[in-house]
């Protein structure tokens, strides 16, 4: 509400929980040790964050994102705008692995297209919100997917395959819901001509899709994520030099500070990326990683363990993850801490690692996007200038946990 970075809230929270642990009789040295141990756990992710910053900057500067966005809008059919809006944002978010990057590019453009067609903003924003978190959950380039794989000690490509399996019913149902709603809409006007806007800054050509295609091929070949992203970044930088005539001397600044277009309209849609753009999210992950150790040492969350066991006995092993995902997202206001706290609390269920990973992906990863005051929900809606009434229309984010709860079988078995 105050526009203050979540880092300050997390830092104050760390001090409070540290003091609480001291009051419970924990030793200062031990608390510092478990805090550092949490940071070491997520250290590999922080390295990947650096690569993601370089990747997004190079894709923006090479024109790859501009070309992908233009193609996505060209295939959209106004009479079926909502399912098209959902699917194109699914596609780009899976390629980028980032909900915010997708929201800040194709999401804003899709919202403008919906306004131009006189479609209710809550419908358009809901379909976009669902689409941007499709890739945030299921892409091997996603920071949340990398975090889940890290804290559960699982293979990210195995997790992606499981996510495709458990997410398919919700994806199909979402398309059907948006298509059904579209029958009652009567779009007017025309879609915006983004090709003309982007042509001011880039030489648009299908060759600009190569970095995205390379990333896709390497992902299917199960090449390590950081190596796949580095290879795509290098190819995008080559396109910057050879296709967009970016001076070689500008590349270091591009990778560190991100892309900055000279044209105002292009800048509004594409500026960003770079290593520095990942600093805040890296800080959030670091601070969040220290909480788990403090809670474990102070036994602060032990009161919830009986509830976890009771929910699992009364319903099934997925229900505790779903309840805790929403609860921790509502308290922490961010996706990272929701994932880490839910993982810590559900460890007592004795699930195998793959089962715990997919349960987290279908609960704690998507739950923050449905909590109005969480940054995962508030920031995209602020970008779209959309009301909170858009949240119920992000149907994929609702249908995914519901399908897991009632219909979709889960891999893995309880050990205990």
pLDDT 10s per residue in the chain (416 long)? 677 777 888 899 899 999 999 999 999 999 999 999 888 888 887 888 888 889 889 999 999 988 988 888 888 888 899 999 999 999 989 988 888 888 877 888 888 888 888 899 999 999 999 999 999 999 988 989 999 999 999 999 999 999 999 999 999 999 999 999 998 888 877 777 788 888 998 998 999 999 988 988 887 787 887 888 899 999 999 999 999 999 999 999 999 999 999 888 888 878 888 999 888 888 888 888 888 788 888 888 778 888 888 888 888 889 999 999 999 898 887 888 899 889 988 988 888 999 999 999 999 999 999 998 888 898 888 878 888 899 999 999 999 999 998 875 555 544 43
415 exposed, middle or buried (CB, 10 Å; 0-12, 13-18, 19+)? exposed
User: How many Å apart are CA 109 and CA 375, to the nearest integer?
Assistant: 21
Let me know: does 135 contact 343? Beta carbons within 8 Å: no
Angle at 49 between CA 48 and CA 54, to 5 degrees: 95
Residue 272 backbone phi and psi in degrees, to 5: 135, -165
Let me know: does 347 contact 95? Beta carbons within 8 Å: no
Let me know: does 45 contact 285? Beta carbons within 8 Å: yes
User: How many Å apart are CA 366 and CA 361, to the nearest integer?
Assistant: 7
User: How many Å apart are CA 227 and CA 192, to the nearest integer?
Assistant: 36
Both tokens assigned to 135: 């890739």
Task: Give the SS3 label for residue 18.
Answer: helix
pLDDT for the residue 315? 83
User: How many Å apart are CA 41 and CA 253, to the nearest integer?
Assistant: 30
pLDDT for the residue 416? 37
User: How many Å apart are CA 315 and CA 393, to the nearest integer?
Assistant: 27
Angle at 356 between CA 351 and CA 360, to 5 degrees: 150
pLDDT for the residue 410? 57
Both tokens assigned to 279: 């600093």
Residue 351 backbone phi and psi in degrees, to 5: -70, 155
Give me the helices (H) in 299-371, please: 305-314, 318-332, 335-346, 353-361
Both tokens assigned to 246: 């970016």
pLDDT for the residue 408? 58
Both tokens assigned to 320: 């505790």
Residue keyed to tokens 């509400």? 1
pTM value is 0.80
């Amino acid at each position: 509400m105050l526009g203050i970075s979540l880092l300050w809230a997390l830092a104050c929270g760390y001090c409070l929980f540290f003091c609480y642990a001291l009051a419970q009789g924990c030793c200062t040295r031990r608390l510092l040790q478990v805090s550092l141990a949490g940071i070491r756990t997520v250290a590999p992710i922080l390295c990947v964050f650096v690569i993601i910053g370089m990747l997004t900057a190079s894709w923006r500067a090479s024109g790859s994102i501009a070309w992908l966005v233009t193609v996505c809008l060209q295939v959209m059919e106004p009479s079926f705008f909502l399912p098209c809006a959902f699917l194109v944002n699914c596609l780009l978010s899976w390629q980028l692995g980032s909900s915010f990057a997708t929201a800040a590019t194709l999401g804003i453009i899709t919202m403008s297209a919906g306004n131009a067609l006189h479609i209710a903003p809550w419908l358009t924003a809901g379909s976009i919100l669902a689409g941007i978190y499709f890739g945030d959950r299921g892409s091997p380039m996603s920071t949340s997917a990398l975090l889940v794989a890290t804290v559960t000690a699982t293979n990210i490509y195995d997790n992606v395959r499981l996510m495709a399996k458990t997410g398919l019913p919700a994806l199909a149902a979402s398309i059907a819901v948006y298509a059904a709603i579209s029958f009652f809409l009567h779009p007017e006007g025309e879609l915006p001509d983004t090709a003309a806007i982007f042509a001011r800054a880039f030489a648009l050509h299908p060759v600009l899709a190569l970095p995205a295609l390379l990333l896709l091929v390497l992902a299917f070949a199960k090449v390590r994520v950081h190596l796949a992203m580095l290879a795509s970044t290098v190819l995008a930088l080559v396109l910057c030099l050879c296709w967009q005539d970016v001076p070689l001397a500008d590349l270091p600044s591009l990778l560190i500070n991100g892309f900055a277009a000279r044209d105002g309209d292009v800048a509004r849609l594409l500026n960003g990326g770079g290593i520095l753009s990942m600093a805040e999210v890296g800080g959030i992950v670091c601070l969040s990683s220290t909480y788990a150790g403090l809670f474990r040492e102070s036994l602060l969350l032990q009161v919830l363990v009986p509830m976890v066991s009771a929910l699992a006995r009364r319903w099934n092993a997925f229900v505790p993850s779903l309840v805790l995902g929403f609860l921790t997202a509502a308290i922490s206001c961010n996706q990272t801490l929701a994932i880490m706290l839910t993982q810590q609390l559900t460890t007592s269920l004795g699930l195998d690692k793959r089962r715990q990973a997919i349960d987290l992906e279908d609960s704690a990863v998507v739950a923050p996007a449905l909590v109005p005051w969480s940054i995962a929900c508030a920031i995209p809606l602020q970008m779209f200038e959309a009301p909170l009434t858009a949240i119920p229309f992000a149907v994929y984010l609702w249908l995914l946990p519901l399908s897991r709860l009632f219909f979709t079988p889960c891999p893995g078995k309880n050990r205990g």
